[in-house]
Structure 1
Amino acid sequence: MLNILGKTTSINVRKVLWTCEEAGLAYQQQDYGSGFASTETDAFRALNPNAMVPVLIDGDFVLWESNAICRYLARKAGRDDLLPTHMQACANVERWMDWQASEFNNAWRYAFPALGRKNPDYNDPARIAAGIKEWNHCIAILEQQLQRTRAWAAGDTFTLADVVLGLSVNRWKMTPLDHPAVPAIDAWFARLHQRPAFLRHGNNGML
């Protein structure tokens, strides 16, 4: 039985839970993080020195970093539809996963706490505006990609790229800001809604 440490309100925990369900892997989840069991303990830091969630425990093997966990889960389940074994097809999926983690997520580092979380420490109008601009720039990149594929983020089939990007786009859609028209993203998002695991862990009312 896989053990996933991390609260379900975490966007990164939810992508791991979604992947488990898509891959048909049994798991148990324990709430760790703000408001739940502390990650700031020696015991937790022994699992993840960053003191962040999620953490995956599979027997004696411990793994942190959500996208790495998603890749591991797909391979463990032998789901080459989620993460292809063909080198170039795999690289294409991983490109969009890495872009999600490095570019897309960094774009909302200031705007989301300000607008989505209403954190009073994030109150600089110029930085909020700059964050929205960068966030929407990333959305435009994904919109162009989906206009090309007319299907899923990495091509004709659903993959891990759609899992990680689905959570990020859900956050963008739920954050109160002026959203540009994105018909290709909207059509893709509607396709995600046909997946029960997305409704449980992606678009489930949580930012």
Structure 2
Amino acid sequence: MLRLWGRTSSINVRKVVWCAQELGLTVQRTDAGGHFGLVQEDDYLRLNPNGLVPLLQDGDLALWESNVIVRYLCARYGADRPAPPYPQDLAERFTAEKWMDWQQTTVNPAGRHAFLQLIRTPPGQRQQALVDASVTQMQPLLERLDRHLEGRDHMVGTRFGMADIPLACEVHRWFGLPLARPVLPNVERWYAGLAARSGAVGVLDQSLS
């Protein structure tokens, strides 16, 4: 039995939930983080010294960092699938790795303040300058993603793969904000296709909180 700690209001937990659903895995999930607490308890910190979510336990293996967990699940449980989400070809694999790291190190920090201000900050306490800065940083990144997806149905190769998960979760969060955005035909087409997947139920159809 796989065990997952984390609340589904977290973008990083949503990545893992979606990945597990795509692979047909049974996961025992425990709400943690935010008002659920648990993450600063000694038992949790022994497994995840960062005190953050998500945390995945597969037998004696404990993993944190959401994109690492997605990679692990795809490699460990998706290799025998007719269309494995973990690329076997090295060029495809590390192209997927590149985009997954880009999501975590570049896109997520750019959009984070707009999300925190517009969704998790009471209206009277919001700082519009932080929202505006996020919009300024996100626009060229979304345009870069749109150019990459021109003529593509997936981030890497010709089929659904591990890189689609974190990027689509990021787009889900950005598209859920009450903001005007530029027309992004390729991103919108790609995202709509992913949102229609059965594995994305409860993830890409979830409201932000």
Per the normalisation by structure 1, the TM-score is 0.92
Deviation at 1:64, TM superposition (A): 0.4
Contact 2:118 2:126 in 1 (8 A): no
Shift of 1:119: 4.6
Tell me if 1:133 matches 2:136.
yes
Matches of 1:63 and 1:131 in 2, distance apart?
Answer: 30
TM-score by length of 2: 0.92
Aligned residues of 1:113 and 1:119 also touching (Cα < 8 A): no
Kindly indicate whether residue 101 of structure 2 is the aligned counterpart of residue 115 of structure 1. Answer: no
Distance in 1 (CA, whole Å) between partners of 2:46 and 2:149 is 41
The SS at the match of 1:154 is coil
**Aligned counterpart in structure 1 of residue 92 of structure 2, from 89, 92, 101:** 89
Amino acid at match of 1:154: V
Q: Which one-letter code corresponds to 2:53 in the other structure?
A: V
Q: Using the aligned pairs only, state the percent identity.
A: 37
**What is the CA distance between 1:36 and its match in structure 2?**
1.3
Aligned residue in 1 for 2:64: 64
- Alignment partner, residue 8 of structure 1: 8
Show the 5 A alignment for 1:165-184. Answer: 165-184=167-186
Alpha-carbon separation, structure 2, partners of 1:26 and 1:98? 27
Q: Deviation string for 1:45-87 (max 9, x for gaps)?
A: 1111110000000111101000000011011113362111221
Which whole-Å CA distance do the structure 2 matches of 1:39 and 1:113 have between them?
Answer: 20
Whole-angstrom distance in 2 between the partners of 1:45 and 1:164 = 25
In the alignment, is the contact (CA less than 8 A) between 1:82 and 1:159 conserved in 2? yes
Question: Which letter does structure 2 place at the counterpart of 1:188?
Answer: W
Mapped partners of 2:64, 2:44: distance in 1: 11
SS in 2 for 1:172: helix
> What is the CA RMSD across the aligned residues, in angstroms?
1.7
One-letter amino acid matched to 1:89: E
Mapped contact 1:167–1:203 kept (Cα < 8 A) = no
Q: In the alignment, what sits opposite 2:75?
A: 75
Aligned position for 2:194 = 192
Q: How far apart are the structure 2 equivalents of 1:20 and 1:12?
A: 13
Aligned equivalents of 1:117 and 1:151: distance in 2? 33
SS in structure 2 of the partner of residue 4 of structure 1: strand
Say whether residues 1:45 and 2:45 are aligned partners: yes
Q: Which moved more, 1:92-101 or 1:116-125?
A: 116-125
Whole-Å separation in 2 of the counterparts to 1:181 and 1:150:
17
Matched pairs, number: 206
Q: How far apart, in 2, do the equivalents of 1:86 and 1:185 lie?
A: 25
User: How far does residue 121 in structure 1 lie from its aligned partner after superposition?
Assistant: 9.1
CA distance in structure 2 between the aligned counterparts of 1:117 and 1:130, rounded to whole angstroms: 17
**SS of match in other structure, 1:205:** coil
- 1 CA distance for matches of 2:91 and 2:73? 20
The alpha-carbon deviation at position 185 of structure 1 amounts to 1.0
1:162 aligned residue: 164
Corresponding residue SS for 2:36: coil
